[in-house]
Amino acid sequence: MSIITIARGSYSRGKEVAERLAKKLGYECISRDILLEASEEFNIPEMKLVRMLHDCPKILDRLFDGPERYVAYYRSALLQHARNDNIVYHGLAGHFFLKDIPHVLKIRINADMESRVREEMKRENISAEEALAVLKKDDEERRKWSLEVYGTDTWDSRLYDMVINISTLTLEDAVDIIHGVLQKPTFQSTVASRKLVADLAIAAKKRAEIVKAKGKIETEVI
Distance CA 95, CA 149 (A): 13
Residue 188 has pLDDT above 80, yes or no: yes
CA distance 2 to 25: 10
pLDDT band at 58 (very low <50, low <70, confident <90, very high): low
Query: What are the DSSP E strand ranges found in the chain?
Result: 3-8, 28-30, 87-90, 104-110, 162-165
Instruction: Please say if the pLDDT value at position 203 is more than 90.
Output: yes
Query: Is 83's pLDDT higher than 50?
Result: yes
Is 3.30.870 the CATH number for 3-111+160-221? no
The pTM score is: 0.82
Q: What's the Cα-to-Cα distance from 161 to each of 8, 28, 38, 143, 191, rounded to whole Å? A: 14, 21, 27, 19, 22
Band (222; pLDDT cuts 50, 70, 90)? very low
d(CA 153, CA 47): 24
What are the backbone angles phi and psi of residue 213, rounded to the nearest 5°? -65, -40
What residue segments make up the domains of the chain, in order of their start?
Answer: 3-111+160-221
- State residue 57's pLDDT score: 56
Average pLDDT over residues 136-143: 87
- Could you tell me the pLDDT band of residue 59, with boundaries at 50, 70 and 90? very low
